[in-house]
Amino acid sequence: MHVEVENGADVDLKALDDPRNEPEPPEPEPLPPLDVEKVEHALGLAQLESMKVGENVAYVLDAVPSLLAALRAATDDQDRWRALTIKRTRYVLTEDDHPPAPGLRCMPVGAEFADALADKYEADEGPTLWAQTEYKTPWERHIPAPF
């Protein structure tokens, strides 16, 4: 919907409320690497002191090694996902608000065409436009199975 404002300019109200016009949030700053030896040393000292403090502190301190391992695994997993690059985005229209069935063939169209379809069918009734982003991994050497 276009509206003429006081100075005679024609303003598209849809564009004003469009979340696509908002800037992307900045990437989070990477966490500094953990100094495992320093953490283990501090853990050992804290465990000695926890005998004086109480049962709850000892429980928390006993959980720290497994929490550090989980944090390392999550950081590795996050780094692996960040290394992926977008291959393409596929779009498909369904007749209702249910996601497309697995294996459904999709129409390879550009984002502009998909945006036009979304604008056309944005009412609650009618077809629903779905998008699926496919990723690819960096090249790595193929090593066949040993059996």
Domain boundaries, given as residue ranges, for the chain = 36-83, 85-139
Q: How far are the Cα atoms of 12, 16, 43, 116, 129 from residue 123, in angstroms, in the given order?
A: 18, 19, 58, 13, 11
**3-state secondary structure string, the chain?**
CEEECCCCCEEEHHHHHCHHHCCCCCCCCCCCCCCHHHHHHHHHHHHHHHHHHCHHHHHHHHHHHHHHHHHHHHHHHHHHHHHCEEEEEEEEEECCCCCCCCCCCCECCCHHHHHHHHHHCCCCCCCEEEEEEEEECCCCCCCCCCC
What pLDDT score does 90 carry?
78
Are the C-beta atoms of 139 and 85 separated by less than 8 Å?
Answer: no
User: pLDDT below 50 — which residues of the chain?
Assistant: 1-3, 5
Q: In whole angstroms, how large is the CA radius of gyration of the chain?
A: 26
Return the pLDDT at 3: 46
User: Would you state the pLDDT for residue 103?
Assistant: 76
Kindly state the tokens that stand for 124: 């609650």
Residue 9's pLDDT is: 56
Give the pLDDT confidence score for residue 2 in this predicted structure: 46
pLDDT at res. 15: 56
